Amino acid sequence: MSADPVTWKLTLPCTKAEAEAVAAYDGEIDAVLITTEVDEAAGEWRLDAYFEGEPDAATLGQVRELAASGGWSTAMPEPLSDEDWVAISQQGLEPIREGRFVVHTSAHPGDAPDGGRAFLIDAGQAFGTGHHGTTSGCLAMLDRLAVEGERFANVIDLGTGTGLLAFAARHLWPEARVAATDIDPIAIDVTRENMAFNDVDQVALVVADGTRDPAIAQSAPYDLVIANILAGPLIAMAPEVAAIAAPGATIVLAGLLTNQAEKVVDAYAAQGASVRARNVRGDWTILCLTAAAERRSVGTDGSGRGDWAIDA
């Protein structure tokens, strides 16, 4: 007798605007949310929500609010077997190539070019397979920095997800000290597993809310700060990112929609940072900033973090 399914799926129609809002959503819904374009000409999109266990009415209501244009669809969640979930998570994840990097899943192997590096990152419980425009754009930005001859000695990847960007930094600057942090302990567990899969070593792993951990402060300042999160948290974290950045450090920011970019730029400009480069990928923008010539200070308890609100 087979075990009961643990993953449930709810599919709702939505608009492009709602899909963009879902991508920028930073609320607390106990679900994995994935949006897909169904018909470009008609502007039709789809929201798929995956739940660990059968969702309750309150959680379903939260998800339905994100796709309210569909007239509060009466579609109900359905259980998936473990095999169905693995198959869904791997669908369409062909290897991606960014500069010297290839990122692939177990189902779709890929080889790195000469002098490059391939990373096996399976879809799972943490964000960052490389297939999302923000993650692949960060890979391209890091590769560009290396091509331009940049050298870094102390690197931190805030909100590391799967660890991919920290691994890329480790490859590009093998003499550097590299740390990867995430607020979610599961993400750090996933990163640790991915380190083993990919024979990556000497990446320090820290569970932390932003930069608020003594280990992060003690290892500062960092000459390369990477944060692929969301626009709102990036804005709120601007003072503390500035506080751990070395004078003139490079800061790579992603997870923001293109129409949110100027608000993020303004938040970091207030900390003395300036824009060095942008990588626009459709609705998403990756920013490369240069930190202020002098370090800013902020309490290690995150007392420099402000409240934030941002319109998509």
Residues of each annotated binding site for S-adenosyl-L-methionine: 135, 159, 182, 228
* Cα R_g (the chain), whole angstroms: 20
CB distance 178 to 224 below 8 Å: no
Query: Do 162 and 135 meet the contact criterion of CB atoms below 8 Å apart?
Result: no
Spatial contact of 180 and 206, defined as CB atoms under 8 Å apart: yes
Amino acid found at 12: L
Known binding-site positions? 135, 159, 182, 228
Q: Are 247 and 293 in contact (CB under 8 A)?
A: yes
* Sheet-wide strand order for 96-98: 96-98, 101-104, 117-120
